[in-house]
Amino acid sequence: MNLTVIKKEFREEIYENYGLWLIAGSALVLSVLCFLVCLLKEGNVLAQNDVLQYAIKAIIFLTLTVAMVLGAASFSGEREENTLESLLLTPISKRSLVLAKYIGVLAVGAALFIISLPYVIAIGWHSNLTGSALLIDLVGGLLLLLGFAALAVIFSITIKTSKASILISILLMVTLTGPTFIQGLLKKSFAGRAFLAIDPVANCFNAMTDMLVNRMPVGSEMQYLLPLVAFSAICIALMAVLSRKLSLRGEK
């Protein structure tokens, strides 16, 4: 692993790709949601664990969106700016380059999770749920981030333009996130149940509901957390394999 490249990518994501402002913007979105829950009359009927669940969903959705956009633009952006050629000419292996970009994206995602912690603590204050909420936010969220960021980088490697890779990444994320909001409908059919069983976002949200509503310990959530681990591992492995295909023109 080449630390210099990783540091360079990290700085680039934070300073040159507006990473800092993206983090501040994400905090603003979370703050607006908090204001709505606290100031609107309808927010009063929500129990504390409901608000916590909505907050964690919003945090995960925001983080994944930012990470997917950054990841999907990582190599395709370099390709469009004609800087990929010089990057490929450096004596650094393609796998190290891909890993450096991936870690740069993860850094922004991790920063987003870190700035969400004060919100989760404030919402769950005096509820005995703060620990569980932080655990699901960090563990579930990070596992999803690892997988989705890897997928976005894969799209960036294989697709020529950043516009197309970002679009496909966002579509994939919406496809996997959307069904979790209509779980009641999907559970009525075998195909729906099968999809929910393998959908990483649904598994993460189910673990969250179990821990925050049914007050189950994290140890009993392995049925949901193991598919998440498997999803992340598969995506990272796929990214490592496809890193060899990183080329100037993108794979056809």
What's the count of helices (H) and strands (E) in the chain, helices before strands?
12, 0
Residue 2's SS3 state is coil
CB of 244 closer than 8 Å to CB of 226: no
Identity of the residue, 48 or 161, whose beta carbon is nearer to another protein in the bound complex:
48
Identity of the residue, 118 or 178, whose beta carbon is nearer to another protein in the bound complex:
118
What is the secondary structure of 190-248 as a DSSP string?
HHHHHHHHH-HHHHHHHHHHHHHTS---GGGGHHHHHHHHHHHHHHHHHHHHHGGG--S
The least CB distance from residue 23 to another protein, in Å, is 6
Identity of the residue, 3 or 32, whose beta carbon is nearer to another protein in the bound complex:
32
The least CB distance from residue 27 to another protein, in Å, is 5
The rounded Cα 3 to chain-centroid distance in angstroms is: 23
d(CA 87, CA 42): 53
The least CB distance from residue 105 to another protein, in Å, is 18
Of the candidates 111, 109, 119, the residue with the CA atom closest to the CA atom of residue 56: 119
Identity of the residue, 70 or 154, whose beta carbon is nearer to another protein in the bound complex:
70
Q: Using N-to-C axis directions, what is the helix angle for 141-158 and 162-177, rounded to 10°? A: 150
Identity of the residue, 17 or 203, whose beta carbon is nearer to another protein in the bound complex:
17
d(CA 37, CA 53): 12
The least CB distance from residue 33 to another protein, in Å, is 8
The least CB distance from residue 219 to another protein, in Å, is 27
Identity of the residue, 100 or 123, whose beta carbon is nearer to another protein in the bound complex:
123
The least CB distance from residue 157 to another protein, in Å, is 28
Identity of the residue, 4 or 175, whose beta carbon is nearer to another protein in the bound complex:
4
Q: Give the residues lining the site for another protein (CB under 8 A).
A: 14-15, 20-21, 23-24, 27-28, 30-32, 34-35, 37-39, 41-48, 51, 115, 118-119, 121-123, 125-127
The least CB distance from residue 111 to another protein, in Å, is 10
d(CA 128, CA 132): 8
Residue whose entry in the numeric block shows the structure tokens 């994944």: 64
d(CA 98, CA 75): 8
Q: Where are the alpha helices (DSSP H) in 93-221?
A: 94-123, 130-135, 141-158, 162-177, 183-186, 190-198, 200-212
